[in-house]
Amino acid sequence: MKKITLSFVAAALATTVVGASTITLYQDKDTGAIYTKPGPNRVELGEFISAKEVNAQNETIKSEMSKALKSTKVKSKVKTLKFSGKHYLGYTFTNDRTSDDKDNSEFETRRNYFQVKAYWNKKDYMRLTLDTFQNVDETTGEDKNSWEVRVKYAYIYLDNILPYTGVEFGQVHRTWIDWEEHHGWLYRSISKTFIEDSTAANLTNSADLGINFKTKMDYFSSEIGIFNGEGYHGDHSGTEMSYEWRLTANIFGTGKKHVHPTEDEYFDLSFTGQYNNDNNYKPADSLGNPSTKKWWGIHAVYNQPMFLIAGMYVDSSSSTYNKGKGRGTGYTFNGEFRPAKKWSILGRYDYWKIEDDAYSHAGEDKSQYLAGLAYKYNKNVKFIGNVKSYDAEEIDGKKATQYMFTAEVNW
């Protein structure tokens, strides 16, 4: 509010100065005397504005502004409120390559995030992020014909609660996905990361209720958390918790920095994973044994303003997650080439194979690739055109090629 008011004042003052009447003054070369009319031996000094007139007009403007602002107030118990939004707007044509041959064409709002952070000092805050989504039955895939709003994040962040370490408490970021989305895979608007994507490993999601300790040093950064385990849209029961981590070597000393891929050079090596003995989000086996998630992964990414290349290997061979569909190993590679200002060429390949001794779908696999072109329209809007082709017919009965157009909006 203060910034808006000050900008308004500055504009009003500029308008006042331009509109005020002026007078031309002249000075005698020898005596220095000031005159209002030209004459012999007099030099024109320029046009001047009456200070009394300007002051009178400024007082009038301030009075009018004060009256206007009285009708619009923003009140808070904190010093700063920071609002922002993120939107993934798109169109997708799906060429179904299964025997059902159910092609589909639709416009989409894949994500609509509205966020507010309430700062009581420069670094500590409360965050609330709301997300709209179309309610779809995850079992049948049928549309329930409704749009709903749910809480994505709701946590308090305290900086330097430990040396070099801040903490998120509440409904928080899990330890891996958010980091990868800012360092390795930059296009969540067209596809989730490898470990989250339903046509890839499909092991976890991005937010959960719990606590996450986030350490940032020049050459080392990490996130270590304890969570319910089922994610922000899954029910939790029992006493088992999920223990999750990310340990990253920031080779070029960018661990403290919020990196910008089109500007910064960074090289990071990460070890990440999850240990959860009883997960209720996906079904147990026919004997009633709980669905467990025990996976680890190794990730590497190198970026410079011209290009990015990243890769990850994941081992979940000790899991029984989702009737055994989560018991497997896989890998992903992705890259981005930036040949010209505002333009990027992107690509990604994923592969996942279920263990031979899994409860169901033993030895089956699935794969997908993405390729596309992105254009940064301005600092708020990016347009992306891409192809996504996946083959998970053996495991999930899905096989299709999708042609996608996306407007990614940030404000």
User: How many structural domains compose the chain?
Assistant: 2
- pLDDT at position 2 is 47
pLDDT tens digit string along 367-382? 999 999 999 999 999 9
What span, in angstroms and rounded, lies between the C-alpha atoms of 314 and 299? 9
Lowest-confidence region among 14-23, 109-118, 172-181, 339-348 = 14-23
- pLDDT at position 19 is 54
CATH number of 149's domain: 2.40.160.10
- pLDDT at position 37 is 86
What span, in angstroms and rounded, lies between the C-alpha atoms of 380 and 409? 6
Phi, psi of 180 (to 5 degrees): -65, -35
Measure the CA dihedral 77/78/80/81, to 10°: -60
pLDDT tens digit string along 228-268? 999 998 899 899 999 999 999 999 999 999 999 999 999 99
Nearest alpha carbon to residue 221 among 274, 169, 259: 259
Q: Are residues 38 and 114 in the same domain?
A: no
Residue holding tokens 């089109």? 262
pLDDT tens digit string along 289-312? 789 999 999 999 999 999 999 999
pLDDT band at 65 (very low <50, low <70, confident <90, very high): confident
- pLDDT at position 5 is 47
- State the residue range of the domain holding 286: 80-410
Q: In this structure, is residue 114 part of a structural domain?
A: yes
Return the structure tokens found at 46: 């320029």
Contact indicator for 403, 370 with CB cutoff of 8 Å: no
Contact indicator for 154, 113 with CB cutoff of 8 Å: no
Q: How open is the CA angle 272-276-278, to the nearest 5 degrees?
A: 160
Q: In this structure, is residue 181 part of a structural domain?
A: yes
pLDDT tens digit string along 71-89? 667 789 999 999 999 999 9
**Across residues 140-153, what is the average pLDDT?**
78
Strand order across the beta sheet in which 42-49 lies: 34-35, 22-28, 42-49
Q: Of 21, 44, 69, which marks where a domain is finished?
A: 69
Say if residue 166's pLDDT is above 50: yes
Q: Are residues 144 and 263 in the same domain?
A: yes
Q: Are residues 251 and 287 in the same domain?
A: yes
Q: Percentage of residues in the chain with pLDDT exceeding 70?
A: 91
Mean predicted lDDT score pLDDT of the chain = 90
Q: Are residues 153 and 213 in the same domain?
A: yes
Q: Are residues 148 and 62 in the same domain?
A: no
Helix axes 2-19 and 51-69, enclosed angle (nearest 10): 150
Q: Are residues 51 and 149 in the same domain?
A: no
Q: In this structure, is residue 74 part of a structural domain?
A: no
Return the structure tokens found at 383: 């347009």
Q: Are residues 57 and 110 in the same domain?
A: no
